[in-house]
Amino acid sequence: MDEPKVIIITGPTASGKTALALKTAEEIQNLTGKTVEIISADSRQVYKHIPVTTAQPTKEELGRFKHHFINSLELDEEFNAGEFGSKARLLIDDLINSGKIPLVAGGSGLYINSLVYGFFEINSEDKDLDEKFKEKRREIYKLKEEKGFEYLVNELKKIDPDMYAEMKEIKERRVIRALEVFYVTGIPISVHQKKKIKINFIPQIYGIQIERSQLYDRINNRVLMMLENGMIEEISALKNKGFHYKTHNSLNTVGAKEVFDYLEGLITKEAMTGLIQQNTRRFAKRQMTWFRRDENIVWVNDNDTIDISGLH
């Protein structure tokens, strides 16, 4: 039997991924008579307590089809692209084996890359190895406190120049991750990532493209809607419980950071709104730059119909 096809819908923030995914899931279900379940590939929507800030699908939308990796982790839980890739592949296999059809939708390029092409991942069943990574991570954070972040960046240049060269933007979390992988395994993370993975399905990736000015208008309007829907109150409640984007990576995201700064009196409400809009537009631009590097993506408009022929 031929390997099954799995549709993956991606695109920048506010491009209409949720609507297109729901529409496509309905069409697949009507065509095949099989149950469709949606796998979210979003690094922030996976967390609980921030549905407004991360623009999670509404309760009505979530109720139409079963969703995975949405509103499922506590804010202090660590989760990365490698873990998503391995868990999502297992889930896809399970769904297919049980006669269901998985559909993937989300805008996290690293998550989709990890799912389809592979990414370094720890065997979560190996508790000893997991503990070694945690211990090494603590040591690296201590080094950062003592010698500064630049020291860590220079260490990365020495031990994994390929990884450093690939970085378009120097992000602390990625630098620390690369260092801990090398210190524990003795092999640069760039070498680990070149190892081929075996997937039991044929990915069909569709990316939503939308004219830039229209996308930016959508982003600006959506930010206003999120503020109306209680984003400030959502973050304020977390702040009162001791959460902060500086201590919880799950909150280190556009929207949450600006609201925290507003609540701490660092910026006005007007400045906060403008910054969220501006930083979201910049984020969308970076997403499109990332997606355009993938020659396997078929570009569609948000109101197009996805080709679902050949699904079984």
- Tell me what the pLDDT averaged over the chain comes to: 91
Query: What residue ranges define each of the domains in the chain, with the CATH number in brackets?
Result: 5-120+198-210+294-300 (3.40.50.300), 127-193 (1.10.20.140), 212-290 (1.10.287.890)
Residue pLDDT, tens place only, 15-56: 999 999 999 999 999 999 999 999 999 999 999 999 999 999
Q: Which two three-digit tokens encode residue 93? A: 């296999």
pLDDT, residue 115, reads 94
| CA-wise closest residue to 173 among 193, 189, 185, 186 | 189
pLDDT tens digits for 247-264? 998 999 999 999 999 999
- pLDDT reading at 236 higher than 80: yes
pLDDT in tens, 131-182: 777 888 889 989 999 999 999 999 999 999 988 988 878 888 889 988 988 8
Quick one: tokens of 191? 């070498």
* pLDDT over 90 (residue 310): no
- pLDDT for residue 67: 98
What's phi and psi for 12, nearest 5 deg? -70, 165
Could you give the CA distance from residue 200 to residue 222 in angstroms, rounded to a whole number?
37
Confidence at residue 207, expressed as pLDDT on a 0 to 100 scale: 97
* Residue 38 contacts residue 29 (beta carbons within 8 Å): no
Mean pLDDT on 183-189: 82
pLDDT of residue 135: 84
What's the number of CA atoms in the CB half-sphere (13 Å) around residue 59?
Answer: 0
Residue 8 binned pLDDT confidence (cut-offs 50, 70, 90): very high
Give the rounded percent of residues in the chain with a pLDDT score beyond 70.
95
Q: What average pLDDT does range 65-74 have in this prediction?
A: 98
For residue 302, CA distances in Å to 15, 21, 215, 220, 238 come to: 7, 10, 11, 18, 34
- DSSP E strands in the chain: the ranges are 5-10, 36-40, 66-68, 101-105, 202-208, 298-300
